[in-house]
Structure 1
Amino acid sequence: MSLALRGIEARLGDFVLRADLQVPPGARVAVMGPSGSGKTTLLSLVAGFVKPVRGQVLWDGRDLGPLPPGARPVSILFQDQNLFPHLSAAQNVGLGLRPDLRLSRADAAAVEAALESVGLGGMGGRKPAALSGGQQGRVALARVLLRQRPILLLDEAFAALGPALKDQMLGLLRQIAADSGATVLMVTHDPEDARRFADLGIVVAGGVASHPAPIADLFANPPPALADWLGEGPGGAPQGRPAAASPLSGRPEHG
Protein backbone atom coordinates (compact mmCIF):
# COMPACT_ATOMS: atom_id res chain seq x y z
CA MET A 1 0.00 0.00 0.00
CA SER A 2 1.34 3.40 -0.93
CA LEU A 3 0.67 6.91 0.34
CA ALA A 4 0.05 9.60 -2.28
CA LEU A 5 -0.69 13.31 -2.23
CA ARG A 6 -2.26 14.20 -5.57
CA GLY A 7 -2.53 17.81 -6.68
CA ILE A 8 -2.60 19.01 -3.07
CA GLU A 9 -2.92 22.68 -2.24
CA ALA A 10 -3.29 23.68 1.41
CA ARG A 11 -3.73 27.22 2.72
CA LEU A 12 -3.02 28.44 6.25
CA GLY A 13 -3.55 32.18 6.30
CA ASP A 14 -1.37 33.59 3.56
CA PHE A 15 0.83 30.47 3.44
CA VAL A 16 0.29 27.96 0.63
CA LEU A 17 1.76 24.45 0.49
CA ARG A 18 1.61 22.36 -2.66
CA ALA A 19 2.42 18.67 -2.97
CA ASP A 20 2.13 16.06 -5.70
CA LEU A 21 4.05 12.99 -4.63
CA GLN A 22 3.91 9.29 -3.84
CA VAL A 23 5.65 7.42 -1.01
CA PRO A 24 6.48 3.75 -1.65
CA PRO A 25 5.06 1.15 0.75
CA GLY A 26 7.14 0.68 3.89
CA ALA A 27 9.46 3.59 3.13
CA ARG A 28 11.30 5.50 5.85
CA VAL A 29 11.15 9.15 4.79
CA ALA A 30 12.91 12.16 6.29
CA VAL A 31 10.97 15.41 5.77
CA MET A 32 13.51 18.23 5.63
CA GLY A 33 13.72 21.92 4.87
CA PRO A 34 13.99 25.40 6.38
CA SER A 35 12.12 26.30 9.56
CA GLY A 36 8.59 27.40 8.82
CA SER A 37 8.60 25.89 5.34
CA GLY A 38 5.57 23.67 5.93
CA LYS A 39 6.97 20.31 7.06
CA THR A 40 4.49 20.02 9.93
CA THR A 41 1.72 21.14 7.58
CA LEU A 42 2.60 18.23 5.29
CA LEU A 43 2.17 15.79 8.17
CA SER A 44 -1.06 17.54 9.18
CA LEU A 45 -2.48 16.94 5.70
CA VAL A 46 -1.82 13.22 6.00
CA ALA A 47 -3.20 13.10 9.55
CA GLY A 48 -6.34 15.03 8.62
CA PHE A 49 -5.78 18.05 10.87
CA VAL A 50 -5.47 20.28 7.80
CA LYS A 51 -7.93 20.00 4.92
CA PRO A 52 -6.60 20.86 1.45
CA VAL A 53 -8.46 23.38 -0.68
CA ARG A 54 -7.83 21.06 -3.60
CA GLY A 55 -6.32 17.66 -4.25
CA GLN A 56 -6.47 14.31 -2.44
CA VAL A 57 -4.56 12.35 0.18
CA LEU A 58 -4.71 8.70 -0.91
CA TRP A 59 -3.84 5.48 0.91
CA ASP A 60 -3.81 2.40 -1.32
CA GLY A 61 -5.84 4.42 -3.82
CA ARG A 62 -8.52 5.35 -1.26
CA ASP A 63 -9.26 9.01 -0.67
CA LEU A 64 -8.75 9.77 3.03
CA GLY A 65 -10.43 13.17 2.71
CA PRO A 66 -13.83 12.13 4.17
CA LEU A 67 -12.21 10.45 7.18
CA PRO A 68 -11.66 12.35 10.46
CA PRO A 69 -8.17 12.11 12.00
CA GLY A 70 -9.11 9.31 14.41
CA ALA A 71 -10.38 7.10 11.60
CA ARG A 72 -7.30 7.43 9.41
CA PRO A 73 -4.66 4.67 9.26
CA VAL A 74 -2.21 6.98 11.03
CA SER A 75 -0.31 7.16 14.33
CA ILE A 76 1.52 10.33 15.39
CA LEU A 77 4.49 10.77 17.70
CA PHE A 78 5.29 14.26 19.01
CA GLN A 79 8.39 15.68 20.67
CA ASP A 80 6.63 15.76 24.07
CA GLN A 81 5.47 12.13 23.60
CA ASN A 82 1.88 13.02 24.64
CA LEU A 83 1.99 10.92 27.82
CA PHE A 84 -0.54 11.57 30.55
CA PRO A 85 1.36 12.18 33.83
CA HIS A 86 -1.40 10.77 36.06
CA LEU A 87 -1.48 7.44 34.19
CA SER A 88 0.98 4.58 34.45
CA ALA A 89 3.14 3.53 31.53
CA ALA A 90 0.83 0.57 30.91
CA GLN A 91 -2.24 2.81 30.96
CA ASN A 92 -0.62 5.28 28.57
CA VAL A 93 0.11 2.41 26.19
CA GLY A 94 -3.38 0.97 26.71
CA LEU A 95 -4.90 4.19 25.37
CA GLY A 96 -3.76 2.97 21.97
CA LEU A 97 -6.29 0.16 22.24
CA ARG A 98 -9.13 1.71 24.23
CA PRO A 99 -9.42 5.40 25.14
CA ASP A 100 -11.64 4.44 28.09
CA LEU A 101 -8.95 2.02 29.34
CA ARG A 102 -11.48 -0.78 29.82
CA LEU A 103 -8.94 -3.40 28.87
CA SER A 104 -9.68 -7.10 28.68
CA ARG A 105 -7.14 -9.65 29.86
CA ALA A 106 -6.07 -10.09 26.25
CA ASP A 107 -5.66 -6.31 25.92
CA ALA A 108 -3.57 -6.15 29.10
CA ALA A 109 -1.37 -8.96 27.80
CA ALA A 110 -0.91 -7.09 24.52
CA VAL A 111 0.09 -3.95 26.43
CA GLU A 112 2.71 -5.86 28.42
CA ALA A 113 4.02 -7.48 25.24
CA ALA A 114 4.35 -4.05 23.61
CA LEU A 115 6.25 -2.72 26.62
CA GLU A 116 8.56 -5.75 26.54
CA SER A 117 9.19 -5.21 22.83
CA VAL A 118 10.64 -1.76 23.59
CA GLY A 119 12.68 -2.93 26.56
CA LEU A 120 10.28 -1.86 29.34
CA GLY A 121 9.03 -5.23 30.54
CA GLY A 122 7.94 -5.11 34.17
CA MET A 123 7.84 -1.28 34.21
CA GLY A 124 4.21 -0.82 33.27
CA GLY A 125 3.23 0.38 36.74
CA ARG A 126 5.53 3.41 36.70
CA LYS A 127 4.23 6.87 35.93
CA PRO A 128 6.03 9.12 33.41
CA ALA A 129 7.69 11.17 36.19
CA ALA A 130 9.46 8.01 37.37
CA LEU A 131 10.83 7.30 33.88
CA SER A 132 13.80 8.81 32.06
CA GLY A 133 13.28 10.78 28.86
CA GLY A 134 14.34 7.79 26.82
CA GLN A 135 11.99 5.48 28.70
CA GLN A 136 9.12 7.90 28.13
CA GLY A 137 9.92 7.82 24.43
CA ARG A 138 9.81 4.02 24.53
CA VAL A 139 6.36 4.15 26.16
CA ALA A 140 5.14 6.35 23.31
CA LEU A 141 6.66 3.94 20.78
CA ALA A 142 4.98 1.01 22.50
CA ARG A 143 1.62 2.74 22.14
CA VAL A 144 2.30 3.30 18.44
CA LEU A 145 3.30 -0.34 18.08
CA LEU A 146 0.11 -1.49 19.77
CA ARG A 147 -2.13 0.60 17.52
CA GLN A 148 -0.74 -1.17 14.44
CA ARG A 149 -1.51 1.70 12.07
CA PRO A 150 0.29 1.43 8.71
CA ILE A 151 1.35 5.10 8.58
CA LEU A 152 3.55 6.60 11.29
CA LEU A 153 4.20 10.35 11.47
CA LEU A 154 6.92 11.82 13.70
CA ASP A 155 7.16 15.56 14.31
CA GLU A 156 10.64 16.13 15.79
CA ALA A 157 9.84 13.30 18.20
CA PHE A 158 13.41 12.84 19.47
CA ALA A 159 14.73 16.38 19.11
CA ALA A 160 15.10 16.94 22.86
CA LEU A 161 17.20 13.82 23.43
CA GLY A 162 20.98 13.68 23.63
CA PRO A 163 22.94 12.15 20.75
CA ALA A 164 23.40 8.66 22.23
CA LEU A 165 19.80 8.31 23.38
CA LYS A 166 18.48 9.74 20.11
CA ASP A 167 20.54 7.20 18.17
CA GLN A 168 19.11 4.43 20.34
CA MET A 169 15.54 5.59 19.74
CA LEU A 170 16.08 5.91 15.99
CA GLY A 171 17.46 2.37 15.94
CA LEU A 172 14.42 1.11 17.83
CA LEU A 173 12.12 2.98 15.45
CA ARG A 174 13.89 1.44 12.45
CA GLN A 175 13.34 -2.01 13.93
CA ILE A 176 9.65 -1.34 14.62
CA ALA A 177 9.18 -0.01 11.08
CA ALA A 178 10.92 -3.05 9.60
CA ASP A 179 8.90 -5.50 11.69
CA SER A 180 5.56 -3.83 11.02
CA GLY A 181 6.10 -2.71 7.43
CA ALA A 182 4.83 0.76 8.37
CA THR A 183 5.39 3.76 6.13
CA VAL A 184 7.17 6.40 8.23
CA LEU A 185 7.42 10.16 7.63
CA MET A 186 9.78 11.87 10.08
CA VAL A 187 10.19 15.65 10.28
CA THR A 188 13.73 16.43 11.37
CA HIS A 189 16.05 19.43 11.65
CA ASP A 190 19.08 17.18 12.07
CA PRO A 191 20.76 15.94 8.86
CA GLU A 192 22.44 13.13 10.79
CA ASP A 193 19.06 11.83 11.96
CA ALA A 194 17.93 11.78 8.34
CA ARG A 195 21.04 9.88 7.29
CA ARG A 196 20.75 7.33 10.12
CA PHE A 197 17.06 6.63 9.78
CA ALA A 198 15.68 7.35 6.33
CA ASP A 199 16.07 5.72 2.95
CA LEU A 200 14.19 8.54 1.19
CA GLY A 201 13.89 12.28 1.71
CA ILE A 202 11.25 14.91 0.96
CA VAL A 203 12.43 18.53 0.80
CA VAL A 204 9.84 21.16 1.72
CA ALA A 205 10.73 24.68 0.66
CA GLY A 206 9.23 27.60 -1.19
CA GLY A 207 5.72 26.29 -0.58
CA VAL A 208 6.39 23.01 -2.38
CA ALA A 209 7.02 19.49 -1.10
CA SER A 210 9.32 17.59 -3.44
CA HIS A 211 8.98 14.04 -4.70
CA PRO A 212 10.75 11.52 -2.41
CA ALA A 213 14.33 10.87 -3.49
CA PRO A 214 17.05 8.54 -2.16
CA ILE A 215 18.52 10.14 0.93
CA ALA A 216 22.11 9.40 -0.15
CA ASP A 217 21.54 11.15 -3.48
CA LEU A 218 19.99 14.19 -1.79
CA PHE A 219 23.00 14.68 0.46
CA ALA A 220 25.54 13.90 -2.26
CA ASN A 221 24.00 16.43 -4.65
CA PRO A 222 21.58 18.62 -2.66
CA PRO A 223 19.06 20.81 -4.50
CA PRO A 224 19.39 24.52 -3.70
CA ALA A 225 16.75 24.52 -0.95
CA LEU A 226 18.40 21.61 0.84
CA ALA A 227 21.86 23.11 0.37
CA ASP A 228 20.62 26.33 2.00
CA TRP A 229 19.16 24.32 4.88
CA LEU A 230 22.47 22.53 5.31
CA GLY A 231 24.27 25.88 5.29
CA GLU A 232 25.91 25.16 1.96
CA GLY A 233 24.01 27.62 -0.20
CA PRO A 234 24.61 31.34 -0.85
CA GLY A 235 24.83 33.09 2.47
CA GLY A 236 24.53 29.77 4.31
CA ALA A 237 21.23 30.80 5.91
CA PRO A 238 17.94 28.95 5.51
CA GLN A 239 15.03 30.93 4.16
CA GLY A 240 11.40 30.34 5.09
CA ARG A 241 8.18 31.88 6.28
CA PRO A 242 7.74 33.02 9.89
CA ALA A 243 6.79 30.27 12.31
CA ALA A 244 3.04 29.64 12.56
CA ALA A 245 0.93 27.59 14.92
CA SER A 246 1.33 23.87 14.27
CA PRO A 247 -1.98 22.18 13.38
CA LEU A 248 -0.61 18.99 14.91
CA SER A 249 0.23 20.27 18.35
CA GLY A 250 -0.92 23.87 18.77
CA ARG A 251 2.71 24.88 19.43
CA PRO A 252 4.60 27.23 17.10
CA GLU A 253 5.47 25.23 14.04
CA HIS A 254 9.14 24.32 13.83
CA GLY A 255 8.74 22.80 10.41
Structure 2
Amino acid sequence: MKVLVPVKRVIDYNVKVRVKADGSGVDLANVKMSMNPFDEIAVEEAIRLREAGKVEEVIAVSIGVKQAQETLRTALAMGADRAILVVASDDVHQDIEPLAVAKILKAIVDEEQPGLVICGKQAIDNDMNATGQMLAALLGWSQATFASEVGIDGDHATVTREVDGGLQTIKVKMPTIVTVDLRLNEPRYASLPNIMKAKKKPLDEKTPADYGVDVSPRLTVVKTSEPPTRSAGIIVKTVDELVEKLKEAGAV
Protein backbone atom coordinates (compact mmCIF):
# COMPACT_ATOMS: atom_id res chain seq x y z
CA MET A 1 0.00 0.00 0.00
CA LYS A 2 1.14 3.52 -0.84
CA VAL A 3 0.75 6.49 1.49
CA LEU A 4 0.44 10.01 0.10
CA VAL A 5 1.56 12.89 2.33
CA PRO A 6 0.86 16.50 1.25
CA VAL A 7 3.36 19.00 2.71
CA LYS A 8 3.34 22.79 2.62
CA ARG A 9 6.11 25.38 2.68
CA VAL A 10 5.35 27.98 5.36
CA ILE A 11 7.14 30.59 7.44
CA ASP A 12 9.18 28.77 10.09
CA TYR A 13 7.21 28.58 13.34
CA ASN A 14 10.13 30.17 15.25
CA VAL A 15 10.03 33.33 13.11
CA LYS A 16 8.09 36.41 14.25
CA VAL A 17 5.72 37.28 11.40
CA ARG A 18 5.85 40.85 10.09
CA VAL A 19 2.97 42.53 8.29
CA LYS A 20 3.74 44.75 5.30
CA ALA A 21 3.51 48.49 5.93
CA ASP A 22 0.62 48.84 3.47
CA GLY A 23 -1.33 46.00 5.10
CA SER A 24 -1.43 44.02 1.84
CA GLY A 25 -0.06 40.85 3.43
CA VAL A 26 2.79 39.25 5.33
CA ASP A 27 6.39 40.23 4.56
CA LEU A 28 8.26 37.17 3.26
CA ALA A 29 11.50 38.93 2.26
CA ASN A 30 14.54 37.14 3.73
CA VAL A 31 12.30 35.06 6.00
CA LYS A 32 13.22 31.49 6.94
CA MET A 33 10.75 28.98 5.47
CA SER A 34 10.23 25.38 6.52
CA MET A 35 7.76 22.49 6.40
CA ASN A 36 4.42 23.07 8.08
CA PRO A 37 4.81 21.42 11.55
CA PHE A 38 1.58 19.40 11.24
CA ASP A 39 2.75 18.08 7.85
CA GLU A 40 6.07 17.10 9.40
CA ILE A 41 4.15 14.98 11.91
CA ALA A 42 2.21 13.43 8.99
CA VAL A 43 5.47 12.51 7.21
CA GLU A 44 6.83 10.95 10.39
CA GLU A 45 3.67 8.86 10.87
CA ALA A 46 3.78 7.62 7.28
CA ILE A 47 7.43 6.58 7.71
CA ARG A 48 6.62 4.79 10.96
CA LEU A 49 3.83 2.87 9.23
CA ARG A 50 6.29 1.81 6.53
CA GLU A 51 8.85 0.77 9.13
CA ALA A 52 6.12 -1.30 10.84
CA GLY A 53 5.48 -3.11 7.55
CA LYS A 54 1.99 -1.62 7.11
CA VAL A 55 2.84 0.27 3.89
CA GLU A 56 5.39 -0.13 1.11
CA GLU A 57 5.91 3.40 -0.22
CA VAL A 58 5.65 6.97 1.10
CA ILE A 59 5.07 9.72 -1.48
CA ALA A 60 5.40 13.39 -0.46
CA VAL A 61 3.51 16.03 -2.46
CA SER A 62 3.75 19.82 -2.37
CA ILE A 63 1.67 22.37 -4.27
CA GLY A 64 2.94 25.93 -4.50
CA VAL A 65 6.07 27.71 -5.68
CA LYS A 66 9.21 26.11 -7.12
CA GLN A 67 11.08 26.73 -3.86
CA ALA A 68 8.83 24.12 -2.23
CA GLN A 69 11.22 21.49 -3.58
CA GLU A 70 13.38 22.30 -0.51
CA THR A 71 10.44 21.25 1.68
CA LEU A 72 10.07 18.05 -0.31
CA ARG A 73 13.79 17.33 0.03
CA THR A 74 13.31 17.59 3.80
CA ALA A 75 10.52 14.99 3.60
CA LEU A 76 12.77 12.76 1.48
CA ALA A 77 15.61 13.17 3.97
CA MET A 78 13.25 12.12 6.78
CA GLY A 79 12.54 8.93 4.86
CA ALA A 80 9.90 9.48 2.17
CA ASP A 81 10.60 7.40 -0.95
CA ARG A 82 9.79 9.93 -3.68
CA ALA A 83 8.17 13.31 -4.17
CA ILE A 84 5.90 15.24 -6.51
CA LEU A 85 6.08 19.04 -6.82
CA VAL A 86 3.18 20.83 -8.47
CA VAL A 87 4.38 24.32 -9.37
CA ALA A 88 1.16 26.32 -9.12
CA SER A 89 2.53 29.86 -8.73
CA ASP A 90 5.59 32.00 -9.34
CA ASP A 91 4.65 34.43 -6.56
CA VAL A 92 5.62 33.33 -3.05
CA HIS A 93 2.87 35.60 -1.68
CA GLN A 94 0.11 33.72 -3.53
CA ASP A 95 -1.44 31.05 -1.33
CA ILE A 96 -3.09 28.24 -3.28
CA GLU A 97 -6.58 27.88 -1.85
CA PRO A 98 -7.71 24.62 -0.20
CA LEU A 99 -10.24 23.67 -2.88
CA ALA A 100 -7.65 23.97 -5.66
CA VAL A 101 -5.15 21.99 -3.57
CA ALA A 102 -7.78 19.30 -2.90
CA LYS A 103 -8.62 19.03 -6.61
CA ILE A 104 -4.94 18.59 -7.53
CA LEU A 105 -4.48 16.03 -4.76
CA LYS A 106 -7.54 14.13 -6.02
CA ALA A 107 -5.97 13.91 -9.48
CA ILE A 108 -2.70 12.68 -7.94
CA VAL A 109 -4.59 10.12 -5.84
CA ASP A 110 -6.40 8.89 -8.97
CA GLU A 111 -3.00 8.50 -10.65
CA GLU A 112 -1.03 6.98 -7.77
CA GLN A 113 -3.83 4.93 -6.15
CA PRO A 114 -2.63 5.17 -2.52
CA GLY A 115 -4.55 3.37 0.19
CA LEU A 116 -4.06 6.19 2.68
CA VAL A 117 -3.54 9.96 2.65
CA ILE A 118 -2.04 11.48 5.80
CA CYS A 119 -1.90 15.26 6.06
CA GLY A 120 -1.53 17.92 8.73
CA LYS A 121 -4.80 19.12 10.21
CA GLN A 122 -4.02 22.68 9.06
CA ALA A 123 -1.27 24.97 7.83
CA ILE A 124 0.09 27.45 10.37
CA ASP A 125 0.07 30.32 7.85
CA ASN A 126 -3.62 30.42 6.94
CA ASP A 127 -5.16 28.03 9.54
CA MET A 128 -7.76 26.90 6.97
CA ASN A 129 -8.16 23.33 8.29
CA ALA A 130 -10.06 22.41 5.12
CA THR A 131 -7.92 20.56 2.57
CA GLY A 132 -8.17 17.08 4.09
CA GLN A 133 -11.93 17.30 4.49
CA MET A 134 -12.39 18.64 0.95
CA LEU A 135 -10.20 15.87 -0.47
CA ALA A 136 -12.27 13.22 1.34
CA ALA A 137 -15.44 14.73 -0.12
CA LEU A 138 -14.04 14.83 -3.67
CA LEU A 139 -12.83 11.22 -3.44
CA GLY A 140 -15.85 9.91 -1.56
CA TRP A 141 -13.46 8.38 1.02
CA SER A 142 -13.84 8.06 4.77
CA GLN A 143 -11.98 10.58 6.89
CA ALA A 144 -10.57 10.86 10.41
CA THR A 145 -9.48 14.32 11.55
CA PHE A 146 -7.35 15.61 14.45
CA ALA A 147 -5.67 12.22 14.92
CA SER A 148 -3.50 11.68 18.00
CA GLU A 149 -3.11 7.92 17.38
CA VAL A 150 -3.34 5.87 14.17
CA GLY A 151 -3.43 2.11 13.72
CA ILE A 152 -3.86 0.09 10.50
CA ASP A 153 -5.51 -3.32 10.63
CA GLY A 154 -6.28 -4.87 7.26
CA ASP A 155 -8.85 -2.80 5.40
CA HIS A 156 -9.65 -0.60 8.38
CA ALA A 157 -7.85 2.14 10.31
CA THR A 158 -8.43 2.86 14.00
CA VAL A 159 -7.92 6.52 14.82
CA THR A 160 -8.01 8.29 18.18
CA ARG A 161 -9.21 11.86 17.68
CA GLU A 162 -8.73 14.90 19.87
CA VAL A 163 -12.15 16.45 20.49
CA ASP A 164 -13.47 19.08 22.88
CA GLY A 165 -13.33 17.63 26.37
CA GLY A 166 -11.49 14.43 25.62
CA LEU A 167 -10.63 11.74 23.07
CA GLN A 168 -12.76 9.83 20.57
CA THR A 169 -11.70 6.53 18.96
CA ILE A 170 -13.23 5.68 15.58
CA LYS A 171 -12.80 2.91 13.02
CA VAL A 172 -12.78 3.96 9.36
CA LYS A 173 -12.76 1.89 6.20
CA MET A 174 -9.72 2.12 3.92
CA PRO A 175 -8.89 3.93 1.73
CA THR A 176 -9.14 6.93 4.01
CA ILE A 177 -7.95 10.46 4.70
CA VAL A 178 -6.33 11.14 8.08
CA THR A 179 -5.44 14.63 9.31
CA VAL A 180 -3.01 14.67 12.22
CA ASP A 181 -2.71 16.66 15.43
CA LEU A 182 0.34 17.71 17.44
CA ARG A 183 0.36 14.83 19.92
CA LEU A 184 0.51 12.04 17.34
CA ASN A 185 4.32 11.77 17.36
CA GLU A 186 7.60 13.66 17.50
CA PRO A 187 9.19 13.99 14.05
CA ARG A 188 12.74 12.72 13.62
CA TYR A 189 15.66 14.89 12.61
CA ALA A 190 17.06 14.21 9.17
CA SER A 191 20.63 12.94 9.47
CA LEU A 192 23.39 14.25 7.20
CA PRO A 193 23.71 10.94 5.27
CA ASN A 194 19.94 10.94 4.67
CA ILE A 195 20.05 14.57 3.54
CA MET A 196 22.67 13.58 0.97
CA LYS A 197 20.64 10.52 -0.11
CA ALA A 198 17.54 12.72 -0.51
CA LYS A 199 19.25 14.62 -3.33
CA LYS A 200 19.22 11.43 -5.42
CA LYS A 201 15.64 10.40 -4.70
CA PRO A 202 13.08 11.00 -7.48
CA LEU A 203 11.26 14.34 -7.46
CA ASP A 204 8.77 14.83 -10.30
CA GLU A 205 7.75 18.35 -11.28
CA LYS A 206 4.22 19.00 -12.54
CA THR A 207 1.83 21.90 -13.11
CA PRO A 208 -1.89 22.29 -12.30
CA ALA A 209 -2.56 22.13 -16.06
CA ASP A 210 -1.20 18.57 -16.07
CA TYR A 211 -4.13 17.68 -13.82
CA GLY A 212 -6.68 19.98 -15.47
CA VAL A 213 -7.10 22.18 -12.38
CA ASP A 214 -7.59 25.95 -12.34
CA VAL A 215 -5.81 27.51 -9.34
CA SER A 216 -7.02 31.09 -9.91
CA PRO A 217 -7.81 32.59 -6.48
CA ARG A 218 -11.49 32.88 -5.50
CA LEU A 219 -10.74 34.89 -2.37
CA THR A 220 -9.24 38.36 -2.02
CA VAL A 221 -7.40 39.42 1.12
CA VAL A 222 -8.71 42.91 1.83
CA LYS A 223 -6.35 43.77 4.66
CA THR A 224 -3.78 42.17 6.96
CA SER A 225 -3.03 43.68 10.36
CA GLU A 226 -1.09 42.74 13.46
CA PRO A 227 -2.91 42.13 16.74
CA PRO A 228 -3.08 45.16 19.05
CA THR A 229 -0.11 45.70 21.36
CA ARG A 230 -0.75 44.62 24.93
CA SER A 231 -1.07 47.51 27.35
CA ALA A 232 1.40 47.76 30.22
CA GLY A 233 0.58 46.01 33.47
CA ILE A 234 0.05 47.66 36.87
CA ILE A 235 2.55 47.15 39.68
CA VAL A 236 0.98 46.76 43.13
CA LYS A 237 2.76 46.84 46.48
CA THR A 238 0.49 44.70 48.67
CA VAL A 239 -1.91 41.78 48.40
CA ASP A 240 -4.76 44.02 49.58
CA GLU A 241 -4.05 46.45 46.77
CA LEU A 242 -3.98 43.55 44.28
CA VAL A 243 -7.38 42.30 45.49
CA GLU A 244 -8.79 45.83 45.25
CA LYS A 245 -7.56 46.22 41.68
CA LEU A 246 -9.04 42.84 40.72
CA LYS A 247 -12.39 43.89 42.21
CA GLU A 248 -12.32 47.10 40.20
CA ALA A 249 -11.63 45.11 37.05
CA GLY A 250 -14.48 42.71 37.83
CA ALA A 251 -12.13 39.73 38.07
CA VAL A 252 -13.29 38.74 41.57
State the TM-score, normalizing by the size of structure 2: 0.32
Q: Which has the higher contact order (CA 8 A, sep 6+)?
A: 1
Higher strand share: 2
Q: TM-score, normalised by structure 1?
A: 0.31
Which structure has more helix as a fraction of its residues? 1
